[in-house]
Amino acid sequence: MHRVIAALAAVASCASIAQAQTASLPAAAEAPFTLERALSLAAGSSPSVEAASAGVRAASAGRAVAGLRPNPSLVVESENIVGTGDYRGVRSAETTASVQLPIELGGKRSARIAVANSQSARAEINAAIAAADLRLRVTQAYIEAAAAEQRLAIARDQTRLAENAFKAAQTRVKAGAGAPIDQQRADVLRVNTGVAEQKAVRDAEVARANLIRLVGQPVAGPLDLAWFTNVQHLTYGPQPPTAAEGTLAFVAARTDVNTASARVRLARSQRIPDVTISAGARRLAATNDTAAVVGLSVPLPLFNNGAAAVRQAQAERDQADAERRLAALNVEQDIASAEADLTNAREAARATGGPVLNAAMEAARIARIGYAQGKFSQLDLLQAEQTLADTRAAYANALVDYHQAEARLARLTAPAPGAR
């Protein structure tokens, strides 16, 4: 009997060694694939960043186009041709060659430049938004991949513990110290943990594949689980609320207001008609002489005087201004919610990964020793092991919630280009 107890104690000791607070995958020779590396690689291969960069170039070209003046026109006219009598053919043709030059009035060119400048600023903000969105997306994918590795490590540990528990129950049954049903329970637990481990393997593969798609190249080696399990300390004391000014969403809405205001100015300038002056020379066929020709063309705004376009631009400016105020409210509300989520997730992660996990580990350790010595029933052992497994899973989920909340808050408070 003493040999049986010694064997069970050895099994429990091995199981206790296999248990760890923050389990990880087998160590690899290469350094961990960090989040910063993933972000750097994704930024160099992301179609969204490339599209935003093209938008900036297009806006810059649009700014250059807005500053150009109207092109002159070369006009050649021939009169008194292909008629009858003396006007048959081109014998009596009178040909006029002139150059027409449109002159913009009312500040149209400067108004166009103002609109183009606002659009260029909006393109820069769009590029920053694309970069911030990509950073959030890659960070979320990295968190999911790291969490999947953490859960896989937990599943493997649970499989080892279930194998040890099954062997211990089998040994007790053979020694007559346990009932056959104990062995059956342990066998069921062993099978279930094996199924859970296979699911964790598949989940880890999918999560890593999703990260690879964003990074644009294979991700070899383990992820940085030290970063994943690191929870920053809570800053105590009242914290000033984060203002919406300077954030990407607010500055984008404010830039839209500037663009709408510039469009109002452009619509007003369009109400002032442009003039076209022309100068040229006419050849008179009858005397074979040449005479100068000058002209002035002014459109008459009888049917479209531009008033409707001004009203449309003003309404669009009012809409943009209302959306700016709404954006400020939404940003401040989202930031407040994200800050609360981050605080709650931080406290949950620190509690679950600290006192709660330590207590569950100690309870499982005592249950293993007590079961090996015949002081606890198998149900007590299984309950302690299940509590430990649930606590470790809750800890992994709390870490995911913490990092996800941190990433969302970083996205909401990301500063706009040039914001102070």
**CATH number of the domain that residue 227 is part of:** 1.20.1600.10
Radius of gyration, CA atoms only, the chain: 38
Question: Are residues 392 and 292 part of one domain?
Answer: no
Asked whether residue 12 is domain-assigned, the answer is yes
Q: What does the buried/exposed string (b/e) look like for 116-139 if buried means 16 or more CB atoms within 10 Å of the residue's CB?
A: bbbbbbbbbbbbbbbbbbbbbbbb
The confidence score (pLDDT) of residue 371 equals 73
Higher pLDDT, 165 or 348: 348
Instruction: Let me know: does 26 contact 221? Beta carbons within 8 Å.
Output: no
Name the token pair of 286.
Answer: 């009858």
The confidence score (pLDDT) of residue 243 equals 77
Question: Are residues 178 and 158 part of one domain?
Answer: yes
The confidence score (pLDDT) of residue 334 equals 94
Question: Are residues 92 and 9 part of one domain?
Answer: no
Question: Are residues 194 and 293 part of one domain?
Answer: no
The confidence score (pLDDT) of residue 6 equals 36
Nearest residue to 11 via CA among 371, 271, 284, 291: 371
Asked whether residue 138 is domain-assigned, the answer is yes
The CA distance from 332 to 337, in Å, is: 9
Most confident of 48-52, 243-247, 373-377: 48-52
Question: Are residues 43 and 142 part of one domain?
Answer: yes
Split at pLDDT 50, 70, 90, the class of 368 is confident
Question: Are residues 234 and 328 part of one domain?
Answer: yes
Mean predicted lDDT score pLDDT of the chain: 85
Asked whether residue 420 is domain-assigned, the answer is no
The CA distance from 140 to 146, in Å, is: 10
Average pLDDT in the 161-180 region? 77
Decide if pLDDT at 37 tops 90: yes
Asked whether residue 294 is domain-assigned, the answer is yes
Higher pLDDT, 320 or 6: 320
Asked whether residue 418 is domain-assigned, the answer is no
Q: Which residues contact 360 (CB under 8 A, 6 or more apart)?
A: 384, 387, 388, 391, 392
Interval 11-23: pLDDT, tens? 343 334 334 333 3
pTM: 0.80
Instruction: Let me know: does 413 contact 135? Beta carbons within 8 Å.
Output: no
Nearest residue to 395 via CA among 338, 344, 351, 341: 351
The confidence score (pLDDT) of residue 374 equals 74
- Cα–Cα distances in angstroms (integers) from residue 229 to residues 152, 272, 312, 401, 411, in the given order: 15, 66, 55, 12, 21
Asked whether residue 391 is domain-assigned, the answer is yes
Of 284, 304, 324, the one marking the end of a domain is 304
Count of structural domains within the chain = 2
Instruction: Let me know: does 391 contact 360? Beta carbons within 8 Å.
Output: yes
Asked whether residue 89 is domain-assigned, the answer is yes
Decide if pLDDT at 94 tops 90: no
Asked whether residue 417 is domain-assigned, the answer is no
Question: Are residues 238 and 110 part of one domain?
Answer: yes
Higher pLDDT, 234 or 136: 136
Q: Which of 38-47, 285-294, 371-380 has the lowest mean pLDDT?
A: 371-380
The CA distance from 373 to 379, in Å, is: 15
Q: Which of 81-90, 91-100, 390-399 has the lowest mean pLDDT?
A: 81-90
Count CA within 13 A, CB hemisphere, residue 28. Answer: 13
Split at pLDDT 50, 70, 90, the class of 286 is confident
Q: Which residues contact 220 (CB under 8 A, 6 or more apart)?
A: 30, 33
The confidence score (pLDDT) of residue 20 equals 38
Higher pLDDT, 151 or 284: 151
| CATH code of 287's domain | 2.20.200
Split at pLDDT 50, 70, 90, the class of 3 is very low
Average pLDDT in the 165-191 region? 78
Question: Are residues 280 and 139 part of one domain?
Answer: no
The CA distance from 278 to 103, in Å, is: 11
The confidence score (pLDDT) of residue 224 equals 92
Q: Could you tell me which residues are beta bridge partners of residue 99?
A: 74, 279
Q: Which of 334-338, 378-382, 400-404, 412-416 has the lowest mean pLDDT?
A: 378-382
Decide if pLDDT at 280 tops 80: yes
Question: Are residues 395 and 295 part of one domain?
Answer: no
Question: Are residues 167 and 45 part of one domain?
Answer: yes
Split at pLDDT 50, 70, 90, the class of 205 is very high
> Domain containing 291: what range?
72-103+272-304
Q: 411 in helix, strand or coil?
A: helix
Question: Are residues 365 and 248 part of one domain?
Answer: yes
Question: Are residues 222 and 113 part of one domain?
Answer: yes
Of 254, 280, 304, the one marking the end of a domain is 304
Interval 235-268: pLDDT, tens? 554 566 677 888 999 999 999 999 999 999 999 9
Q: Which H helix or E strand runs over 73?
A: strand 73-79
